[in-house]
Amino acid sequence: MKYYILFGPPGAGKGTQATAMTEKYNLRHISTGELLRKEIAAGSELGKKAKSLIDAGSLVPDEIVEGMIESEFRTVRDVAGFLLDGFPRNTAQARDLDAILAKTGEEVTGVVSLMIPDETIKERIRHRATIEGREDDAREETINNRIVTYHDKTEPLIGYYKDSGKYNEIDGLGTIDEVRSKIFDLMDRF
């Protein structure tokens, strides 16, 4: 089984590129955002708690997210691997992911990192909010908080995965097809 991490700031195009990656390489896309939105739509207790945190621009606690992901690993079959999108978000989660995978003798195969500048992040998130009607993406304060959180908490993952030789950075600017071509060239080498 292969385990890929799709990494980058909010609005880098991870969701857009994930669909093509999962189709081409027979992967199950695990988006923590989608898992959480599913719980919110279901009106579950987890969904209610997650909604209040997300609306404030905060992150959902690690143990909740990790439990959902480990469940996906255990229950999904007939795929060549998994594509994690939005997880891990910090080095503690990366260590937890390593521990989850080690239980079955597995490890992260590779990290595909889409990088874009902060101004592009803001433009793309605002655009996504209007197209998808995502209220959590519409407020300037929330957008800025996500960017700060990304730089403070998530960027240290670059060093973590560089140290393990699994980090691969791709310029996320350009057309969808141009970025996709760079991703496929990289994935074909794994």
First to last CA, the chain: 12
Residue stretches of the chain with pLDDT short of 50: none
pLDDT recorded at residue 83: 97
pLDDT recorded at residue 136: 64
pLDDT recorded at residue 137: 66
The residue behind tokens 């945190």 is 53
pLDDT recorded at residue 65: 84
pLDDT recorded at residue 138: 67
Listed residue (90, 111, 107) closest to 98, CA to CA: 107
Percent of the chain with pLDDT over 70: 97
Q: What is the pTM of this model?
A: 0.81
One-letter amino acid identity for 119?
Answer: E
* Domain residue limits, the chain: 2-184
pLDDT recorded at residue 160: 95
Fold assignment, 2-184: Rossmann fold (3.40.50)
Q: How far apart are CA 67 and CA 73, in angstroms?
A: 10
* Sign of the dihedral through C-alpha 58, 61, 66, 68: negative
